[in-house]
Each structure stands twice: as C-alpha cells, then as structure tokens.
Amino acid sequence: MERQEQTRIALAKLFPAEPVVAAAVAAEGSNQEELPPRLAGVVSQDFARHGSHLDVLCHSEQVVAVAEIMDSEGFFLESIAGVDWLDKQQLEVIYDYNRLGGEHCRVTVRTLIPRIEPVVPTICGVFPAADWHERETFDFYGVHFQGHPNLIRILLPEDADFHPLLKDFMP
C-alpha cells in the first residue's frame, strides 16, 4: 500500500485543482452513456476487478511528465495501446506501467486526443521500451508521437498507407 500511496501522491501533484479544464473534458464525452466521462486526475481502483491499482487520466501534453514520475518511482513500461472511440471522434492512448518486483503496483495512464489530429509527445527519451510500442500504435492507429526518432511502420509493410485498427478502416 505504501508504494501505491507514494505513487498516487507523486502523480496527483500533476493535477492541481483544475475544474475548468476537467469540466471541458467531461462535457465532450457527456453523450456517451456506456463509459461515463471522468475528470483528469488519479483514481485508485479495485485491482481484482480491473487489473490495475491506479488509473490516471491525463492531458496529452502531460504524458512525458507522467513517464518521468514513473521512471523515478522505479516503474517499467509494460505496453502502449490505442483505442479508437469513433462516436466521440477521439483516439485514446493507454500506457501500462508495472514494477519489476517489490510491492505490487500497476498503473494505467490514459490520454484522449482528437481523432483528426492525433498527436502525443513521445516518451522514448524516458523509456526506450516505448520506441517499438509507439511505432506499433502509429502503425495501427496513425497516432503521431511527436519527437520520436524513427516513427516508421513496424509490423505492417513499410509502404502501407492505412491504419487497420481504426474502426472505420475498410480493407
């Protein structure tokens, strides 16, 4: 519990009370009844149910700051996943962090970006593991990781001009 609490406090510093921005995020997704919108910030959740202890929703420009905190707390990057929310016209990038031993603590970091201009800063500089995971997310969703040293196709052919995991992709 100590580690979770420490990480939660460290992350919470990134989210000083920001009711104005948070309300804007909430309003954008308010027509979605399946996934109720959440304010940006850190929330502890039931590990047995969701498989992670902390759920962080941050703004796209904060992912590097979050990654730096995770790095200093001794976490490693487990994976990066994209999700296409077609009706909300948003893409979501999910970062999963975990620790190699010690107290068990998994952290999920999520960020929502507009679907027409999907740009997120790269965290390659913090975790080299992100290099391939970001390339994969770019490959499948077309998310542009700003500052990535080598943002090219990784699993699809190098001349592919499509992003197959977008919900409106037609082969």
**Which residues are at the interface with other proteins (CB under 8 A)?**
34-35, 48-52, 55, 74, 76-79, 81-84, 94, 96, 98, 100-101, 104, 106, 108, 110, 127-129, 131-132, 140, 153-157, 164-165
The smaller minimum CB distance to other proteins, of residues 24 and 155, is found at 155
Q: Are 101 and 108 in contact (CB under 8 A)?
A: no
- Count other C-beta atoms under 10 Å from residue 160's C-beta: 11
Q: Are 12 and 6 in contact (CB under 8 A)?
A: no
What's the closest the beta carbon of residue 78 comes to other proteins, in angstroms?
6
State the helix-helix crossing angle for 63-72 and 2-12, rounded to 10 degrees: 150
What's the closest the beta carbon of residue 45 comes to other proteins, in angstroms?
9
SS3 content of the chain, % helix, strand, coil (to 5): 30, 25, 45
The smaller minimum CB distance to other proteins, of residues 41 and 132, is found at 132
The smaller minimum CB distance to other proteins, of residues 11 and 105, is found at 105
